[in-house]
A and B are shown apart, each in its own frame.
Chain A
Amino acid sequence: MIAGLSSELKKKIAEVVARYPKKEAAILPVLHLIQRETGAIGADEERWVAGLLEIRPIKVREVVTFYTMYHQKPVGRFHIQVCSNLPCSLMGGEKVIDHLQRRLGIKIGETTPDQRFTLSEVECLGACEQAPCMMINFDYYGDLTPEKIDGLLKGLD
């Protein structure tokens, strides 16, 4: 997979790395750039990044698994991320997750067979005022109810 990184991307990565006093510091933007092209950061990508930044692959894996924005496997066309922290849970976040699992027929961490939806549980999205909330790709949706979710899913394409 990694052999296929475009020369354009590699050039961009080199530019980003050069911006930091320590190579290791470039890890977040480099991972974002790669994921944009490959869809996910697998073991091959981790090793490649580790080699580039002169750190061990385990350090890359720590970063990739810490942030929910990085994926170890490619996600579906619509990545639904539901907050599971305290304010959302108090306002019915668990019901939101239950409803989505039933509607999409998948569990947390799974992708629908048609590669349309991936469902994730995430830490605080920083939008507690609209709890319970979730993100679909890069857009926020708050004050969720089962009805509102159904409407949102219908409107997606």
Chain B
Amino acid sequence: MESAGMKIVIDDRPVEVEEGTTILQAAKQAGLHIPHLCFHPAFVPEGSCRICLVEIEGLPKLELACATAVRDGMKISTQSPRVREARRGVLEFLMADHPLDCPICDKAGECKLQDYYQEYGLFEGAFKEAKEKRDKIIKIAEKLILDRERCILCTRCVRFLSEITKTQELGVFRRGIHSEISTYEDAPVQNNYSGNLVDLCPVGAITDTEFRFKTRTWFLAQSESICPLCSRGCNIYVDYHPGFTRIPGTAKIYRIRARENLEVNGRWICDFGRYGFPSLEKDRGDKILWKKEGRDTIMSWEKILSLLAEKLRPRHRTKNTSNIAVVANTWMTNEELFLFKKIFKDDLGLKKIFFADPRPGSGDGFLLQAERTPNARAAKEMGLELNPVNLDDLSKNTDVLIIFGPFLADLHDPSSLKNDLDKIRTKVLVSSHRSGLESYVDFILPASGILEKTGSLTNRDGLVQKFSAVCPPCGDSRPEWSVLIELAKELRINAGYYSRLTQPEVILKEMGKEIAFFR
């Protein structure tokens, strides 16, 4: 701590903070929560909700914790009877025109107004007058609905659009009891970050059509994860409904929210990532299939892997692997790419290694990157060249082809893809999603989706971020790392080495030993 440190006491707890720290921040450092609605760490304090009032020894009036900087020797109380009474009063006014429609409000369960009322309110309403009627369904963006009755005018949404996106689609019109959040004429909120307004709104005034009336927040398990939809690697929460035991098919991911990581994405995520999650759950492959003489036969992992190993083993033994080709992708985790490289490049010595990834889009100059795949950097750091698939090179003198991922289908037109793949005798597809490639191959191995696996991803800046499975694997699917290890075992190459690699954690440690970048 520097000598400029300010020694203060909050609720009898001595704290030392830097000059310029606000009381609210200082309390947070001391592990105390001061209620606040309009304050948000990303914006300049607004001081409009008044609920963060605290008592400072020697000052006649209560002060705003969010907008008052500490002074050396300050003695602050956040729980004195005066403070609690003031909070109650503020709450009473905030609730005076609040519709109390919590039973149908999507924010219920994670609403700060609800939380604070539980903690500091619990009073009979003193207002005899009828509540103000306001518009409750105002479409302010493609996916956003504004409810003016629930709005407490904290202006977090206005400040986000003016300070972060600088698009200023929302403003506060009129004043006093007539104040309202509004768009200008009918110009909607239109930017790639609009979904953050839902996370930001401390009450249920801004909700999104994707989540509206779909479920209750208390059914959702929050898991930390990494957004896979571009190379930025934004930190996210995935809110997953584990399902009702007696109703099959109720397990589902309901929404994606931003998770703070100041190094990567700040406190925001883009709409492309937020609303892209349905594509992760759609068109999933869930069965292991062998198209034996044109008929789909459902297989077990053991059988299909030993069948594949039988086809690869003789070629490995005779060091004649030139007619094996593989197509990988950079949606695979660090661990999976590492195993892929170990087995196919190092052990089998393959020359025909290609990558098929989603087509690049365009970046938006803020978080969203043009590179629409989460782990290209890792492949490069491992010394894998991201050769795009050239169908001629792929099929020429190729006997066995193993394709990882569904993306090849989007990169080539179906007729030429079929034409070239038909030249190859044995074709294997390891994919999480159905893409049309299924009709060209003989073996289909369902891979777990990225939210169903554990592992790590390397973002464009080289930051390795670990993540854990959010939900159980879809159907019979398995993560590629486990498929690769089992395949290596069946191939009986380097058996001692692969049998040690039981978990992604262990694989990452092993990677660190072999590749300095992952240390």
Q: Say whether A59 contacts B173, CB under 8 Å.
A: no
Residue numbers of A with Cβ under 8 A of B are 43, 56-59, 61-62, 65-66, 123
Q: Say whether A59 contacts B174, CB under 8 Å.
A: no
Per-residue interface assignment for chain B, residues 409 to 434, with 1 indicating a CB less than 8 Å from any chain A CB and 0 otherwise: 00000000000000000000000000
A57 to B174, CA, bound (A): 15
Q: Say whether B173 contacts A56, CB under 8 Å.
A: no
Q: Which of B170, B173, B183 contacts A65 (CB 8 A)?
A: B173
The distance from the CB of A81 to the nearest CB of chain B, in whole angstroms, is 14
A59 to B174, CA, bound (A): 12
A61 to B172, CA, bound (A): 9
A59 to B183, CA, bound (A): 11
> Assuming A43-B185, A56-B184, is B172 touching A62 (CB within 8 A)?
yes
The distance from the CB of B97 to the nearest CB of chain A, in whole angstroms, is 16
Q: Say whether A61 contacts B184, CB under 8 Å.
A: yes
Q: Which residue of B lies closest to A56 (CB)?
A: B168
Q: Which residue of B lies closest to A57 (CB)?
A: B184
The distance from the CB of B182 to the nearest CB of chain A, in whole angstroms, is 8
The distance from the CB of A60 to the nearest CB of chain B, in whole angstroms, is 9
A58 to B168, CA, bound (A): 8
Q: Which of A58, A62, A65, A66 has the most CB of B within 10 A?
A: A58
Residues of B166-198 at the interface with A, using a CB-CB cut-off of 8 Å, are: 168-176, 183-185
Q: Say whether A123 contacts B176, CB under 8 Å.
A: yes
Q: Say whether A58 contacts B174, CB under 8 Å.
A: no
> Assuming A56-B184, A57-B184, A61-B184, is B175 touching A123 (CB within 8 A)?
yes
A61 to B182, CA, bound (A): 10
The distance from the CB of A142 to the nearest CB of chain B, in whole angstroms, is 21
A131 to B173, CA, bound (A): 28
A65 to B175, CA, bound (A): 7
Q: Say whether B185 contacts A59, CB under 8 Å.
A: no
Residues of chain B lying within 8 A (CB to CB) of residue A123? 175-176
Per-residue interface assignment for chain B, residues 291 to 309, with 1 indicating a CB less than 8 Å from any chain A CB and 0 otherwise: 0000000000000000000
Q: Say whether A58 contacts B171, CB under 8 Å.
A: yes
Residues of chain A lying within 8 A (CB to CB) of residue B174? 65-66
Given contacts A43-B185, A57-B184, A61-B184, 11 further A-B contacts (CB under 8 A): A56-B168, A58-B168, A59-B168, A61-B171, A61-B173, A62-B171, A62-B173, A65-B174, A65-B175, A66-B173, A123-B176
The distance from the CB of B242 to the nearest CB of chain A, in whole angstroms, is 43
Residues of chain A lying within 8 A (CB to CB) of residue B185? 43
A66 to B172, CA, bound (A): 9
Residues of chain B lying within 8 A (CB to CB) of residue A56? 168, 184
Chain B: number of interface residues, binned into ranges: 10 to 19
Q: Which of A43, A59, A66 contacts B175 (CB 8 A)?
A: A66
A66 to B171, CA, bound (A): 11
A56 to B185, CA, bound (A): 12
A50 to B265, CA, bound (A): 32
A61 to B174, CA, bound (A): 9
Residues of chain B lying within 8 A (CB to CB) of residue A57? 184
List, sorted by A's number, 13 A–B pairs whose CB atoms are closer than 8 Å.
A56-B184, A58-B168, A58-B171, A59-B171, A61-B173, A62-B173, A65-B174, A65-B175, A66-B172, A66-B173, A66-B174, A123-B175, A123-B176
Residues of chain A lying within 8 A (CB to CB) of residue B169? 58
A61 to B170, CA, bound (A): 11
Q: Which residue of B lies closest to A43 (CB)?
A: B185
Residues of chain A lying within 8 A (CB to CB) of residue B175? 65-66, 123
Q: Which residue of A lies closest to B175 (CB)?
A: A66
Q: Which residue of A lies closest to B172 (CB)?
A: A62
Residues of chain B lying within 8 A (CB to CB) of residue A43? 185
Q: Which residue of B lies closest to A55 (CB)?
A: B168
The distance from the CB of A110 to the nearest CB of chain B, in whole angstroms, is 16
Residues of chain B lying within 8 A (CB to CB) of residue A61? 171, 173, 184
The distance from the CB of B177 to the nearest CB of chain A, in whole angstroms, is 9
Q: Say whether B176 contacts A58, CB under 8 Å.
A: no
Q: Which residue of B lies closest to A122 (CB)?
A: B176
A61 to B185, CA, bound (A): 10
Residues of chain A lying within 8 A (CB to CB) of residue B168? 56, 58-59
A43 to B186, CA, bound (A): 12
A62 to B159, CA, bound (A): 14
A59 to B170, CA, bound (A): 9
Q: Which residue of A lies closest to B185 (CB)?
A: A43
The distance from the CB of B180 to the nearest CB of chain A, in whole angstroms, is 9
Q: Which residue of A lies closest to B167 (CB)?
A: A56
Per-residue interface assignment for chain B, residues 484 to 509, with 1 indicating a CB less than 8 Å from any chain A CB and 0 otherwise: 00000000000000000000000000
Q: Which residue of B lies closest to A67 (CB)?
A: B175
A65 to B176, CA, bound (A): 11
A155 to B176, CA, bound (A): 33
Residues of chain A lying within 8 A (CB to CB) of residue B170? 58
Per-residue interface assignment for chain B, residues 432 to 443, with 1 indicating a CB less than 8 Å from any chain A CB and 0 otherwise: 000000000000
Per-residue interface assignment for chain B, residues 117 to 146, with 1 indicating a CB less than 8 Å from any chain A CB and 0 otherwise: 000000000000000000000000000000
A82 to B176, CA, bound (A): 15
A132 to B176, CA, bound (A): 19
Q: Which of A57, A59, A62 has the most CB of B within 10 A?
A: A62
A22 to B169, CA, bound (A): 22
Residues of chain A lying within 8 A (CB to CB) of residue B184? 56-58, 61
A123 to B179, CA, bound (A): 12
Q: Which residue of A lies closest to B168 (CB)?
A: A56
A10 to B412, CA, bound (A): 61
Residues of chain A lying within 8 A (CB to CB) of residue B172? 62, 66
The distance from the CB of B86 to the nearest CB of chain A, in whole angstroms, is 20
Residues of chain B lying within 8 A (CB to CB) of residue A59? 168, 171
A62 to B168, CA, bound (A): 12
A56 to B158, CA, bound (A): 13
